[in-house]
Amino acid sequence: MGRVITPSFDRRSDATHGRQAGTDASDRPSPLFSDAEIWARDYSLGDGMVFGVCAVAEILSRHLGRDGRWPVLLLDLLEIANRHAEDCQHSLSKCARVLKDLIVSGLGRENFQDLSAALLIVDLIEYTPKYRKKSRK
């Protein structure tokens, strides 16, 4: 499945992707995702969750590298969020909290915008299904 989804992010790659960010704002790479792309998704549905996990994976691979704990945490987040069961809410919150702690630990001036977007997406994956259930009653 990763091979099917990952190529869609190649369009976002540009010359600044691999370059180290300088202190000047013009040297910083542009954000990977716009606000509209993030807010336009319904994270209570499967395709929204997959988009969110892939978006966070792209951001984290860009700023934290491809190795580490985050790939497993993202897959766990997707699996637990996809269950939509009320008894899974604790597990979802725990997994999201660990992932957000990891993201915050890598936060810096040069990657603030992208990692803030990753935090927002993780929050949306965590809270949107619960909100949708309550609003349908």
Asked if residues 73 and 95 have their Cβ atoms less than 8 Å apart, the reply is yes
DSSP conformation class of 22: -
**How far apart are alpha carbons 127 and 135 in whole angstroms?**
12
Q: What is the pLDDT of residues 20-64, one digit of tens each?
A: 444 444 455 677 788 898 999 999 888 999 999 999 999 999 998
pLDDT of residue 29: 67
Q: What is the pLDDT of residues 84-129, one digit of tens each?
A: 655 567 888 999 999 999 999 999 999 999 999 999 999 999 988 6
State the greatest distance between any 2 C-alpha atoms of the chain, in Å, as a whole number. Answer: 50
- Quick one: tokens of 69? 């704990």
pLDDT of residue 128: 83
Residue 106 burial by Cβ neighbours in a 10 Å radius (0-12, 13-18, 19+): middle
pTM: 0.74
Give residue 5's pLDDT band: very low, low, confident or very high (50, 70, 90). very low
Count CB-CB contacts under 10 A for residue 61: 16
Give phi and psi for 72, each to the nearest 5: -65, -40
